[in-house]
């Protein structure tokens, strides 16, 4: 199936909603979900691994995988019928669910894309065209946080700096004790960047930073952008949906993206991109040009050639899964936040360290200080320790190296031994996690300390 001229029909079907959508039959399930059913849903996870890193790749339950397989088979059995009579309505149904979850005004404000990186490319290439077409002045700026996701930084280089734009990088404090710390640092960073008179064309801010992980006061940061004359705001919320409540109208940004495969139980990879309605134009395009290229963004993103669209079609199944839990999605988010903070405090108490942020600035992930005796002195040390824990202890957890900033002036948090804390573990909590996962991590670090292990002892080939 190469699509050919038939792709023109997909846009019409999307706009007219005249296809017939047939849901696959699903087995009967009990409500609320039991512990044994949760274990069965995630029985495909490798045994013996303390998987406390849901934040990196997410997790997909067996029932959603089954629904995905049904969609894949429907395409393989009769691709033409699937394309003409099923795909567009299925995608529209997914977009409609997301519209309700994030309180958008119109389903046309919602597009489905592969991931947050793709969404960033869509927004940033539009900014790049502003420079290329001389609508923006050379040196006008894009603002980003110093802890922005690396792929977003690369996209800024690819689309903005090469076209003549500049970048203002705002450093946020970490560890952090209150949202006011973040607000003050962000406002100061914006004002410093404006001293040369440049115009801020776009600000990219996180809802939940990835590494280190902190829930930011995103509504306040958007308001500061307005006060400081930033034209438009793009919120990179890769970790948000399924982790924190989202209200795009209350947040007030022009663009908002979140991955559905991290905390919303969809298979990889799928994300939604919200574009405030007055921002929608044919100038907003997928970075890969297909026959729908140049149409409205939701239509242009809906058909990007022959590929597996099943991850975009199982949003309904993921929603059915979360509704099996007490309190639905809100209940899951509340329990994950409660449990990850509890486990983070348990680890910090055991190691004599600290948490990287207060509980109200944590969602389903929390940063836990690691003992100074491990001698984590670089990003390479952090990576090697992560691999060492995976191979030797069956613990999967990201490690963050926290370089000393000028702001700390030789100080910063210290552990019970008086050493400065330079390494943090980012632990996640999802519905499949149990306390033993975190005890296993605790015991692994304590055993390493007992052996007087340091990162210098890890050799690489």
pTM for this model (two decimals): 0.88
- The answer to whether 318 and 264 have CB atoms below 8 angstroms apart is yes
pLDDT at site 33: 95
CA 429 to chain centre: 15
Strand partners, 215: 208
pLDDT at site 281: 55
pLDDT at site 303: 64
pLDDT at site 161: 80
pLDDT at site 409: 53
pLDDT digits (tens, 9 = 90+) for 312-326: 999 999 999 999 999
pLDDT at site 4: 41
pLDDT digits (tens, 9 = 90+) for 387-446: 999 999 999 999 999 987 655 555 789 999 999 999 999 999 999 999 999 999 999 999
pLDDT at site 233: 96
pLDDT at site 288: 63
Strand partners, 143: 168, 203
Q: SS3 letters for the chain?
A: CCCHHHHHHHHHHHHHCCCCCCCCCCCCCCCCCCHHHHHHHCCCCCCCCEECCHHHHCCCCHHHHHHHHHHHHHHHHCHHHHHHHHHHHHHHHHHHHHHHHHCCCCHHHEEEECCHHHHHHHHHHHHHHHHHCCCCCCCCEEEEECCCCHHHHHHHHHHCHHHCCEEEEECCCCCCCCHHHHHHHHHHHHHHHCCCCCCEEEEEEECECCCCCCECCHHHHHHHHHHCCCCEEEEECCCCCCCCCCCHHHHCCCEEEEECCCCCCCCCCCEEEEECHHHCCCCCCCCCCCCCCCCCHHHHHHCCCCCCCHHHHCHHHHHHHHCCCCCHHHHHHHHHHHHHHHHHHHHHHHHCCCECCCHHHCCCEEEEECCHHHCCCCHHHHHHHHHHHHHHHCEECCEEECCCCHHHCCCCCECCCCCECCEEEEEECCCCCCHHHHHHHHHHHHHHHHCCCCHHHCCCC
| Spans in the chain with pLDDT lower than 50 | 1-27, 461
pLDDT at site 24: 42
């Amino acid at each position: 199936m190469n699509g050919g001229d038939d792709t023109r029909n997909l846009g019409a079907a999307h706009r007219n909603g005249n296809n017939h959508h047939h849901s696959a039959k699903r087995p009967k399930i009990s409500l609320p979900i039991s512990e044994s059913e949760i274990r069965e849903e995630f029985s495909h996870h490798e045994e013996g691994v303390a998987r406390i890193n849901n934040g990196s790749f997410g997790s997909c339950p067996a029932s959603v995988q089954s629904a995905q397989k049904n969609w894949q088979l429907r395409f393989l059995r009769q691709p033409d019928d699937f394309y003409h009579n099923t795909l567009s309505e299925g995608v529209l149904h997914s977009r409609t669910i997301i519209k309700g979850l994030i309180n958008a005004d119109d389903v046309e404000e919602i597009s489905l894309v592969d991931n947050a990186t793709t969404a960033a490319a869509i927004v940033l290439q539009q900014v790049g065209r502003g420079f290329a077409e001389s609508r923006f002045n050379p040196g006008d700026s894009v603002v980003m946080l110093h802890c922005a996701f690396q792929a977003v930084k690369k996209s800024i280089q690819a689309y903005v700096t090469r076209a003549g734009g500049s970048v203002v990088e705002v450093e946020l404090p970490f560890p952090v004790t209150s949202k006011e710390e973040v607000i003050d640092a962000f406002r100061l960073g914006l004002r410093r960047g404006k001293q040369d008179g440049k115009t801020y064309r776009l600000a990219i801010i996180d809802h939940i930073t990835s590494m280190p992980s902190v829930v930011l006061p995103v509504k306040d940061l958007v308001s500061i952008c307005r006060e400081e004359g930033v034209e438009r705001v793009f919120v990179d919320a890769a970790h948000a949906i399924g982790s924190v409540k989202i209200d795009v109208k209350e947040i007030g940004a022009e663009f908002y993206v979140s991955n559905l495969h991290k905390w919303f139980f969809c298979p990889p990879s799928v994300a939604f991109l919200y574009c405030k309605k007055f921002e929608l134009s044919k100038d907003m395009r997928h970075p890969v040009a297909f026959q729908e290229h140049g149409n409205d963004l939701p239509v242009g993103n809906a058909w990007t050639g022959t590929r597996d669209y099943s991850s975009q079609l199982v949003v309904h199944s993921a929603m059915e899964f979360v509704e099996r839990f007490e309190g639905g999605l809100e209940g899951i988010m509340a329990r994950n936040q409660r449990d990850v903070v509890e486990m983070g405090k348990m680890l910090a108490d055991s190691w004599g360290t600290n948490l990287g942020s207060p509980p109200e600035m944590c969602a389903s992930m929390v940063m836990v200080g690691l003992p100074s005796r491990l001698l984590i002195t670089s990003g390479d040390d952090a990576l090697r320790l992560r691999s060492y824990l995976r191979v030797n202890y069956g613990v999967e957890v990201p490690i963050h190296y926290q370089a000393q900033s000028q702001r700390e002036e030789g100080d910063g948090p210290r552990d019970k031994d008086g050493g400065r804390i330079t390494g943090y573990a980012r632990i996640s909590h999802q519905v499949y996690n149990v306390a033993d996962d975190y005890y296993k991590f605790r015991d692994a670090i304590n055993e390493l300390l007992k052996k007087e292990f340091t990162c210098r002892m890890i050799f690489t080939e």
